[in-house]
Every structure is written in structure tokens, then in C-alpha cells.
Chains A and B, each alone.
Chain A
């Protein structure tokens, strides 16, 4: 009986166990591959190094993962349009500012317009999913395919370049600050989201709706509105990620901004130990998941894997992690080790 108690909740059942292990594994792999991996230097007044690069490039993904986490938690589905929405928001921002030496409209106007576009996209997705009861993947597939098309329309199918130097601040560095700006943006978004979820009952509401939307309705929650709002928020954050992305390159290429980032965001949520079936979630887990993925990407680049082969390796990780949560696989495991299963079952009975 004694050892049963010790293993009552094994280490691997703690929700952040898997995400942290994944991150550590990737980092160890890096350390072996590149001994200088953890070295941080200052060049031209800014921090420089692999670690900084990972945190910098992970920022956009962290932002997307925050939105995706809430969408998954509330609806048990994923928003696959975030990459396209990023591209669209970026395109709107750049097209509004123009390609001359000076901005055509004040910078803040273009940013607000881009964020508004993100919100509108979120409204479309949220409306389809929560009020029209369309499957989340099908509903967001619409903008997944149409979003980039609209972005192309906005840019006239050209790659547009923004000339004023300040445009790059958001995606790179602010003058005199050695830490990349996207890190601050991601940090602020994560903190605000975290505080709102903790200081209002919203976090509890989202979990409640995701676990049992019918019971939640009878309790007095507006299940549909809650699901709707998570999609709107996800759209807004996709726009923020898009703004960072266009600022980083000082240009908009509607075909490439946010390409495949929806896959990364979903993967981040999964690696974060969150069930893609909805319900309980850990925001921190998704953040760690996002950083893990970027670390993985950077590692693969450092190992000289070609950019176009990268998705394969990511896909392998997705398969492994999603399989670990699959009830069928768990059942299969139990069937090939029936002895262990029956024993533990008996143990549970005895314990009762």
C-alpha cells in the first residue's frame, strides 16, 4: 500500500511537468550542439546571443499562444486563422502608413486600424463558432484562406516597404534600450491577461464553459458570449503579432507574414500541457510552450536544417504530444500492459 500513496500523483501528472521537460531537453540539445549557446554579449548597445534571439522571436508566438489558449479552453476548438489575420492586420497598417519618406497618417492611427481589423476578424470567427455553432476549425478556415487574399488586395499584391526608421522600433529595438521591444509587448500582454483572468471571474467562467457549457448556462453564465469573446481577443492578439512582424522587417509580404504561425500557436498550447479538448488551462504553460517551439526552431537552424524542412520536425513533435493525450492510445497502452492496469485498478478499489 505504501508505494501506492507515493505514486498517487506522479510527477508527470503535474500540469507544467511536460512543458518544462520539453524546454529543458531542447536547451540541453543546444548546449551540446553549440557550446556558446548561453553566451550573451552587447553589440552596438543591444543584447546579442542565441538566448536573446529565442526570446525575441518567441514573443510573437507567445502573444498568439495566449489568444489560442483561451480559444481552446472555452470552445475546445482551435482558431486556425491567426496567421492570416496577422498578415491582414500588418498589410492594413503598412498600406495606411504608405511607402513614402514620411507617414501618410499618424502612426497610432494605422496601429489602431490594424487592431480593429484583428477584432473584426475575431468577431467573424466568434460569431460563427458560438452563435452559428459552426465547428471551430471550419469557421476559422474561412479567414485562414480568405485572410491572405484580402491582405493581397490591400497591398495590391506587392511587397510594400516602410521607410521611416521609427517603424522598426516595435519589432526590433527602441533607441537606448538593449532589450528587444517585442519582449516587452509579450510580457505586458501576458501580464494583463493573467491579471484580468485572476482578478475577475473570467478565468473561471472560461474553464467552466469549456468543461460543460450546458451546466454553465444553467448556472447563469452566458456561454455563447464567453466563447465569442475569446475569439475576439484571439483576433486582436493576432493583429498585435502581425504588427510586430511587419515592423521587424519594415515591410509587408502578405504571403509570408505569420505563415504557419497558427500551427505553432496550437502546438504551443499543446506543449503547454493544455488539453486541446478545452476546459482547464494554464497560461504559463502555453508561454513556456511558445518559447520551447522557438528554441526548437532556432536549434534546428543552428543545426543547419533547411528552412523548408523545418515543418517536418515540428510536425513530429505535434504528433508525439497530441498522441500522449489521446484516449485511444492510453487505452491501447493499458491493453498491452493489462497486468499493470488491473493491479492499479485493484489498488484503487482497496484504497477505497
Chain B
């Protein structure tokens, strides 16, 4: 270990059943630096953190920490803490009903004659927080303070217990801009003291605001470690996505946009904490793509449009009619359909049959008193099993027994059956095989030709290039750019995602 290195992880390998989550990953943290760990979803960031903090075991590799002359293996977060590694997560896990001082010293209270020495405890608590430039009343209970302050108290506690390596896992997700700035001040202060900080975040702006170094992971492998000056945003995005900027194949979608009637018109629509207010109109026959890194607010925008998350500002018109959806059923009746990102949690009804899964949305729209007859249900199910080539033993097979791609087709069938005017597809091709992916892309283009408006969200840029004729780019929960027909290219999308001075 070099003298200023306080943590080295070498050749870390970890398998989940059938999946190599980490493959020979190296990571080095030096004293007095803030080190960003970047990568898209599934890149292995959280697995690496979990291995480090003892939440997961690893198969091979070596972790060393300054001051301990042998490799360490953390079997639990407590053991990691004893070795000097503390973690603060997005959700603060302190006790809201105890005072700030109690939270800081819980489990290690200063004692006098066998009883808790409240005076010393409160005094020390005040000192610890003052050092971080946080001036609050430490005798009040924690729930008096904002999430940001709570997070900083969690950080103060972590640092006070063991001060070598501090891991901040998505700490800024629920903070507003001022709070983020305050957190950065604290981080910089700790850095000055010689702490090594690992910072995990989805927000590119924040990485460039506070970090010194970046380690990029992709598909469980190390892409590289870079000094922040040597890695402009555009390069970072390219590294994360695994695209070589020089080697771009241009694929044009087969269709061009012909502006039909307006189907969706949103003005200042927003949902606090999910997506900042946006304006958007979508026309018949259009495939509109939402692009942006994970956590940029693209799913949230779609959910707000559909009313899955209730918008709290602005207004929405569907086919010229004002729609204030109280629940998704209102949106469905207005002619919308929404295929959610998370198939397992929000899409399939696992134990019900393929037939039931297909007809449920139509039945819900029909209402309680118009039961689709068994014969109708079977006809609908058979038609779409045939049309979308859903591979299933029978229409009565529980949907959970189907493969991911076929489950997705069945869910797609559910929505197509409604014959919607506006169809939102959030990651419709995630985790399914290439053949099915192409089928779904073709289907999307076909639907647009039929005059439907489709919103298409995907992490795979090629897919978007092939299907979309308009593209919105999101960053940090707001719409930051829009690309039309010819402008839609991998370069332009990535430039827009990276934003800032990269364009």
C-alpha cells in the first residue's frame, strides 16, 4: 500500500446465482479525497459497497485498510465499523424519538457512577456538531430536524465512531439544492481532516462539484479510475454506457414524424420530489423517447403523466379534455395505458393465469357489473397469445411460470387490448432476449403507424434511435433538452445527458 492509500480492494470477485456481479474489480481510496463510484444500474456499485461493508460476502480478492497489516474480511457492518469503515445511507437509520445527543452516543454513552452523564454527553455532542459547522440544539429530539440535518448527524456519528473511510450511498436523493450544498461543505471539511470518502450518486453535477477522483464500473467490471480533471462529463457518460464515441453506427428509424392531432398536452405538470414541472405535448403517430441516466426522472415523468404518482402542480389535457386523475383508472378511461418499469413488482399478478393477467385492465375499465364472459376472456387471451407469440403452456398457466420476455409480452397484451390512444412503455425490453426486443420495437413503430402516441423509455440508446422520432432528455429530475428527427444521434443524446460545459 502506498503511504497515502487508506483502503485498497484488489481483484474482488463476487457471483450471484448465475451472474458475475463483480469481476476482478480494483478500487483504491486515498486519505483526504472524495471518490465517486459511478456506473449505471447493475454495474456493481452497490455490490462493491456491500462487499466492503460486510453486507455481502465475496468469493475472492483482498481488502486492506491502513493501519491493519493483514487483509480484512468484514462479516457484518459492525465489524466493518470496527475496522474503520462507516456507511450513511439515503434513509437515515437513527431514532427519530431520541434527542440528537442520544443519537450521537447511543450504545456508547459517557457514564458517571454507572449512570449516563447527560451533561458531558450534551456538551460533547455540541462540540462534535460545531466542528462540522452545524449549530443546533442537541437536546431536542431528532424528528425536529430536516432530513438533511438528520443525515449530517448520521455522518457526524459515523465519523466520531471510526474515522477512516466514510461511505455515502446516494445521500443527496432526498435533499434540496441548499441542503446538498451544506452537505458538500461537511464533506469538504471531513476531507480536510484526512478522511477518505466514497460517494455514490446518480447526479453528474454533484460529482463534478465535490469529487476528486472517479472510479467507473460497468457490468461488474472496472472500466477505470480517473482524476476528475481528466474525465470530462461526456467521456464519463460514454464510459458508463460502454459506448466508444468514435465508433457510432447511425441507425435511423424507419418512420418520420408526421404531426397529427395533439393527444397529450401537459403544462407545468410536476410532482414534488419526483419530477420538476414540465411542458409537453404529444401528437398522434408519434413515438417520443425519454432519455437520461437512471435516476434522472424519466420514469417519474411517465408516472406523473399517467397519474401513478399524483401530480401536485400544472394541468394535463388528454384529447383536449382536462384530466385530473385521482387514480390510474381515470387515466385508463381517458385512453392511456402504462407499462411500468418494474415488471415483477408493478406489472404481473404472479399467481394469476396468463388469461387473467391479459384481461384484467379491460375488465377494470368495464367496471364491476360487466363481467367479460369466460368465452370472451379466452378469445382475447388466445388472440394476443397468437399475435404476440407468447410462449406459454396454456392460457391458464400462472404467469409467474413464463420467462421474463413472455411475461412482458402478456403485460403488453393487457394494454393493447384496451386499444389506448397513448401508450407509455417504461423499459419494455429490460431483461428480455434480443429476438423479443426486436419484436417489441417493431410493434411500437407499428402502433405509431396506426395513429397511436407512444412514449418509449429505455436505457439502451440504440433502441431509442431505432424507434423514436422525438426525444426528451432529462437530468436531475427536469427536462433539459429535446431532439427531433435528424438531431437524434448517439452523440447528441450523450452530450445532452452530460449537459453542463460538455455541449
Contacts and interface: CB of A to CB of B under 8 A. Distances in A.
Q: Do A and B come from one complex?
A: yes
Interface of A: 199-202, 204-205, 207-208, 211-212, 214-222, 279-280
Given A199-B371, A204-B363, A218 B340 contact: yes
20 contacts: A199-B371, A201-B371, A201-B372, A204-B352, A204-B360, A208-B360, A212-B345, A212-B346, A212-B348, A212-B349, A214-B345, A215-B346, A217-B308, A217-B328, A218-B308, A218-B346, A219-B414, A220-B327, A220-B365, A221-B329
Contact of A215 (B306, B332, B349, B356): B349
Interface of B: 306, 308, 327-329, 332, 338, 340, 345-352, 356, 360-361, 363-365, 368-369, 371-372, 414
Nearest to A208: B349
A200 B348 contact: no
B352 A207 contact: yes
Given A214-B346, A215-B345, A220-B328, A207 B351 contact: yes
A204 to B, nearest CB: 6
A219 B306 CA distance: 11
A339 to B, nearest CB: 19
A216 B357 CA distance: 10
A245 B306 CA distance: 50
A208 B329 contact: no
Contacts of A280: 351-352
Contact of B361 (A207, A214, A219): A219
Given A201-B368, A202-B368, A211 B363 contact: no
Contacts, number: 72
Given A208-B352, A216-B349, 9 more contacts: A204-B360, A207-B351, A208-B360, A218-B308, A218-B328, A219-B361, A220-B329, A221-B364, A280-B351
Contacts of B364: 201, 205, 219-221
Nearest to B329: A220
Nearest to B360: A219
Nearest to A214: B346
Contact of B327 (A207, A211, A217): A217
A211 B328 contact: no
A14 to B, nearest CB: 14
Contacts of A204: 352, 356, 360, 363
Contacts of B349: 207-208, 211-212, 215-216
A135 B484 CA distance: 50
B325 to A, nearest CB: 11
Contacts of A279: 351
Nearest to A202: B368
Contacts of B414: 219
A220 B351 contact: no
Contacts of A219: 328, 360-361, 364, 414
User: Lowest 8 CB-CB distances: which A-B pairs, in order?
Assistant: A220-B364, A220-B329, A220-B332, A219-B361, A201-B363, A208-B349, A211-B349, A215-B346
A137 to B, nearest CB: 23
A220 B368 CA distance: 12
Nearest to B365: A220
A212 B350 contact: yes
B121 to A, nearest CB: 35
A211 B363 CA distance: 17
A220 B360 CA distance: 9
Contacts of A212: 345-346, 348-350
A212 B363 CA distance: 17
Contacts of A200: 368-369, 371
A216 B327 CA distance: 11
A218 B348 CA distance: 11
Contacts of A222: 327, 329
Contact of A218 (B338, B350, B368): B338
A222 B361 CA distance: 12
A215 B345 CA distance: 7
A84 B372 CA distance: 39
A315 B352 CA distance: 32
Nearest to B308: A218
Nearest to B367: A201
Nearest to B333: A220
Contacts of A218: 306, 308, 328, 338, 340, 346-347
A91 to B, nearest CB: 34
A216 B348 CA distance: 9
Nearest to B364: A220
A338 to B, nearest CB: 16
B271 to A, nearest CB: 16
B360 to A, nearest CB: 5
Contacts of A211: 349-352
A221 B369 CA distance: 14
